[in-house]
Amino acid sequence: MTTAGTGGGALMRAAPGPEEIRRTNLGTLLQYVHLHGATSRAELTTRLGLNRSTIGTLTAELATAGLVSEAVPRGIRRAGRPSLVVRPESARVYAYALSIEVDQLRAARVGLGGTVLDRRVCDRPRGLPLPGTVAPLARLIHEMHREVDDDARYVGTGVAVAGRYRGDDGTVRLVPTDGWGAELGAALGSVGRLTVGNHADVAALVEHSRGAAVGCGNVVYLHGDAGIGAGIIAADRRLAGYGGYGGELGHMVVNPYGRECGCGSRGCWETEIGESALLRHAGRAGERGREAVLSVIRSAMHGDRQAQYAVRRVGEWIGFGVGNLANIFNPEAVIFGGTLRDVYLVAAAQIRSRMNAVALPACREHIRLRTPGLGPDAVLIGAAELAFARLLDDPLTVLTARAL
Amino acid sequence: MTTAGTGGGALMRAAPGPEEIRRTNLGTLLQYVHLHGATSRAELTTRLGLNRSTIGTLTAELATAGLVSEAVPRGIRRAGRPSLVVRPESARVYAYALSIEVDQLRAARVGLGGTVLDRRVCDRPRGLPLPGTVAPLARLIHEMHREVDDDARYVGTGVAVAGRYRGDDGTVRLVPTDGWGAELGAALGSVGRLTVGNHADVAALVEHSRGAAVGCGNVVYLHGDAGIGAGIIAADRRLAGYGGYGGELGHMVVNPYGRECGCGSRGCWETEIGESALLRHAGRAGERGREAVLSVIRSAMHGDRQAQYAVRRVGEWIGFGVGNLANIFNPEAVIFGGTLRDVYLVAAAQIRSRMNAVALPACREHIRLRTPGLGPDAVLIGAAELAFARLLDDPLTVLTARAL
């Protein structure tokens, strides 16, 4: 007796030819070492269910293409020939990652395998419109680019923004400016080739693939900045909705009698748990920004009553919203990123207790509340994954089709 | 410039053998005529992307197994040999469907293709516990079974309940009684073989595959009964969550200052839009049941001010919740089933207006608000799909493996 679907109607496929199988297998093997790092051929054989000679052929091809290297493992003293270890060529194959945040612009060079090779940051004066970010972002990238070895291979640039982009036609929505993407691409010049994603979405995906939510099929990632962003994973896939605008949890109304929100509605989650709510409750309504938030949290930890009240009040509403999300998504993990990470660390008990009051036991009993496993790099590594995705999908064609 | 995932890591597959391809193709063809009804061989060739001779072979096999029939279409006067029309054997291959509702028990015999061949209903005294439903349900089935032709082939029984069942081990959760499934199976005797699903889930899936939400990848189905059930489709799949308990929208808290809910929380959606809220606002707090709800709606249509107030008040909260769901899911369709269908029909303008106030334009602009395309049969046909799913997955093995 099971709960079943209604038979979704699988697409019929003709048998793939050997070339298609090879292409898929190359991508899968590369994806494996990209996510798991150095792996012996023997383990790849087991994990991927392919025989030794196939693994040997595939790794040789990827090595020739400069995507992986193979080496005898150090410190092995067993009899017999040791299994070669396959590593992603993290230092030689890389992507750029950009994160456009409310108060700062961050950039990183990220090697295949998710290694951050270089990172830069500069302030973003609050209110600086998106077009104004193009020049400083290009400068960060060009600074890093000057230090890259000639033989290193560039894959693309992933950009994380607070808004959401339409997947099918690239239309910019929920961000204030059209045309900005093209402008940024042009400013980067030869380093163009942009893929744009939402902060919380890319962080959710990368925490799911290599961070705090590995093995969790259903994940809610919450990102606190000036507002609240969210990325949702359901059954191992990003919940996108019809136009890619799913997951606007910051505008889930939690308090119908609450304050007006910038979106025109009232009592949105972001009006109750966002930066301005915390600062207002702490009696610091004139302040703003990440540093101001961290200062309230430090004050609360040092016993400041008003700061403690602010944290408690915001914690209540975080727990309330997470409880609702548990009833809706029955997730295994909820991850608190950005400034919500810091709030969570001081309000965890209260968040959990409020969540427990709101959520049905069956919906919440397996929930783990977590901070990002990749720390503040989650967004940057996630943005880089946007650029790596195409390479992983079809390694050889991507590498041979264009001068990198 | 597109929003991309982070490269999900496709599973590597060896090339499927001819037997596997044949099996998949048989299931896909049968699924096609099951969903779309009589289809010419020529159209199947186009729709499924297979050549004429393959379609011919597959339909012949399915016809031999008694799952489809082929006939020359009537009324065709074109030159040349007309393309045979393939029909599901609706009268000969069938499932039973049971729906256990608060006030009634419904049963149907549903033919392949989704045709309701027979239906029965009996009252369920409110408060009759689940074990008490076993005998009357078995009676409904046995009544229908006596009229079934000897050569008809039974596929299985699907049962729709208000609770949710754990997918992996069949554990009953969110319904009051364990062991009831086994008891019902035993009472049905040779007609056992139960698959259990949630009312709203099965209705959501069948409205998505053959009802009001065909072609919509993201759907929220809301079912009003004593409480509020929901089934959510995201990217064409049911949103199940970790344990199968996702979609408990009736217990999404919409009013933190609202009334206590039976679940122990406060202000759950169901406390604001459920049967008892409508009746209370209408000044009929002592009444209950579907008939009482319909009576309030009729009174509102005839100008009764208190009934109109009740409908308006409930409509406000329906719109509020749907607005939140738009922000969360960005769905193409929201479907109102059960008594919510009737409330929706008198409060549609208000529901939409409140939804518009809560939801971000990008999240709601493609939403269609709908009533079930399959009417009150949605739950029964959906329950039957639970039983058909295995057959459609592997038609010949299922039919030959056991005496049906």
Residues listed for chain B:
404
Which residues 5-64 of B have a C-beta within 8 angstroms of A? Answer: 5-16, 21, 24-25, 27-28, 31-32, 34-35, 48-50
pLDDT one-digit tens code per residue, B345-365 = 999 999 999 999 999 999 999
| Chain A residues touching residue B320 (CB < 8 angstroms) | 253, 256
Residues B332 and B393 in one domain: no
Residues A327 and A225 in one domain: yes
Least-confidence region, from A19-28, A248-257, B165-174 = B165-174
Contact A4 B389 (CB under 8 A): yes
Asked whether residue A255 is domain-assigned, the answer is: yes
Nearest-Å Rg of the Cα atoms of chain B is 23
Choose one of B59, B88, B117: the last residue of a domain.
B88
Q: What ipTM was predicted for this assembly?
A: 0.89
| Chain B residues touching residue A386 (CB < 8 angstroms) | 3-4, 6
Give the count of domains, chain A: 3
H or E stretch at B199: helix B199-210
Residue B201's pLDDT band (cuts 50, 70, 90): very high
Q: In this structure, what token pair is assigned to residue A23?
A: 């292409």
Please name the member of B6, B242, B249 whose beta carbon is closest to the beta carbon of A332: B242
| Stretch B211-238: mean pLDDT | 95
Rounded Cα–Cα distance for residues A341 and A228 (Å): 12
| Stretch A99-110: mean pLDDT | 93
Nearest-CA residue of chain B relative to A192?
B1
| Chain B residues touching residue A25 (CB < 8 angstroms) | 12
Confidence at residue A195, expressed as pLDDT on a 0 to 100 scale? 84
Rounded Cα–Cα distance for residues A375 and A345 (Å): 13
| Stretch B316-340: mean pLDDT | 97
Residues A254 and A354 in one domain: yes
Asked whether residue B335 is domain-assigned, the answer is: yes
Rounded to the nearest angstrom, the gap between the alpha carbon of residue A235 and the centroid of all alpha carbons in its chain is 17
Asked whether residue A62 is domain-assigned, the answer is: yes
Confidence at residue B14, expressed as pLDDT on a 0 to 100 scale? 56
Residues B154 and B130 in one domain: yes
- Tell me the CATH number at A70: 1.10.10.10
- Tell me the CATH number at B39: 1.10.10
Residues B224 and B334 in one domain: yes
CB A112 within 8 A of CB A67: yes
Residues B44 and B134 in one domain: no
CB B59 within 8 A of CB B29: yes
- Tell me the CATH number at B169: 3.30.420.40
Confidence at residue B172, expressed as pLDDT on a 0 to 100 scale? 40
Q: What angle do CA A343, A346, A351 make, to 5 degrees?
A: 75
| Stretch B99-114: mean pLDDT | 94
**Burial class for A100, CB neighbours closer than 10 Å (0-12, 13-18, 19+):** buried
pLDDT one-digit tens code per residue, A282-333 = 999 999 889 999 999 999 999 999 999 999 999 999 999 999 999 999 999 9
Residue B103's pLDDT band (cuts 50, 70, 90): confident
Asked whether residue A97 is domain-assigned, the answer is: yes
Please name the member of A1, A167, A389 whose beta carbon is closest to the beta carbon of B170: A1
Residue pairs between chains A and B whose CB atoms are closer than 8 Å: 293
Residues B115 and B242 in one domain: no
Which residues face B86 on adjacent strands? B39, B70
Rounded Cα–Cα distance for residues B265 and B252 (Å): 10
pLDDT one-digit tens code per residue, A166-224 = 444 433 444 434 567 677 777 777 655 788 889 999 999 999 999 999 999 999 999 99
Which residues 174-213 of A have a C-beta within 8 angstroms of B? Answer: 174, 181-182, 185, 194-198, 201-202, 205-206, 209
pLDDT one-digit tens code per residue, B115-171 = 999 999 999 987 788 888 889 999 999 999 999 998 899 998 999 988 765 444 443
| Chain B residues touching residue A11 (CB < 8 angstroms) | 28
Residue B11's pLDDT band (cuts 50, 70, 90): very low
Rounded Cα–Cα distance for residues A27 and A394 (Å): 6
| Stretch B329-352: mean pLDDT | 97
Q: Is residue B7 over pLDDT 50?
A: no
Rounded Cα–Cα distance for residues A267 and B187 (Å): 52
CB B83 within 8 A of CB B93: no
Which residues face B229 on adjacent strands? B223
Kindly report the number of other CB atoms within 10 A of residue B166's CB atom: 16
| Stretch B360-375: mean pLDDT | 94
Residues B236 and B359 in one domain: yes
Contact A320 B363 (CB under 8 A): no
Rounded Cα–Cα distance for residues A326 and B344 (Å): 27
In SS3 terms, chain A reads as CCCCCCCCCCCCCCCCCHHHHHHHHHHHHHHHHHHHCCEEHHHHHHHHCCCHHHHHHHHHHHHHCCCEEEECCCCCCCCCCCCCEEEECCCCEEEEEEEECCCEEEEEEEECCCEEEEEEEEECCCCCCHHHHHHHHHHHHHHHHCCCCCCCEEEEEEEEECCEECCCCCCEECCCCCCHHHHHHHHHHHHCCEEEEEHHHHHHHHHHHHCCCCCCCCEEEEEECCCEEEEEEECCEECCCCCCCCCCHHHCECCCCCCECCCCCECEHHHHHCHHHHHHHCCCCCCCCHHHHHHHHHHHHCCCHHHHHHHHHHHHHHHHHHHHHHHHHCCCEEEEEEHHHHHHHHHHHHHHHHHHHHCCHHHHCCCEEECCCCHHHHHHHHHHHHHHHHHHHCHHHHHHHCCC
Which residues 111-140 of A have a C-beta within 8 angstroms of B? Answer: none
The C-alpha of A173 sits at a distance from chain B's nearest C-alpha, in angstroms, of: 7
Residues B225 and B351 in one domain: yes
Q: Which of A150, A147, A141 is nearest to A193 (CA)?
A: A141
Asked whether residue B262 is domain-assigned, the answer is: yes
Best residue of B1, B249, B365 to probe chain A, by most A CBs closer than 10 Å? B1
The C-alpha of A209 sits at a distance from chain B's nearest C-alpha, in angstroms, of: 8
Contact A253 B320 (CB under 8 A): yes
Nearest-Å Rg of the Cα atoms of chain A is 23
Confidence at residue A225, expressed as pLDDT on a 0 to 100 scale? 87
The domain of B383 spans 93-202+378-401
Nearest-CA residue of chain A relative to B358?
A265
Residue A384's pLDDT band (cuts 50, 70, 90): very high
Asked whether residue A98 is domain-assigned, the answer is: yes
Which residues face B333 on adjacent strands? B219, B368
Please name the member of B2, B10, B246 whose beta carbon is closest to the beta carbon of A170: B2
Residues A107 and A59 in one domain: no
Residue A279's pLDDT band (cuts 50, 70, 90): very high
Contact A328 B328 (CB under 8 A): yes
Nearest-CA residue of chain A relative to B385?
A6
Confidence at residue A370, expressed as pLDDT on a 0 to 100 scale? 97
Beta strands B39-40; B85-88: pairing state: antiparallel
Please name the member of B25, B194, B324 whose beta carbon is closest to the beta carbon of A253: B324
Please name the member of A5, A248, A327 whose beta carbon is closest to the beta carbon of B363: A248
Asked whether residue A233 is domain-assigned, the answer is: yes
Please name the member of A6, A170, A202 whose beta carbon is closest to the beta carbon of B206: A6
How does DSSP classify residue B189?
Answer: G
Contact A196 B12 (CB under 8 A): no
Residues A264 and A348 in one domain: yes
Contact B6 A218 (CB under 8 A): no
B181 vs A385: which has the higher pLDDT: A385
Choose one of A88, A113, A144: the last residue of a domain.
A88
A330 in reach of chain B (CB within 8 A): yes
Nearest-CA residue of chain B relative to A395?
B7
Asked whether residue A9 is domain-assigned, the answer is: no
The C-alpha of B51 sits at a distance from chain A's nearest C-alpha, in angstroms, of: 11
Kindly report the number of other CB atoms within 10 A of residue A97's CB atom: 29
Residues A196 and A100 in one domain: yes
Contact A245 B181 (CB under 8 A): no
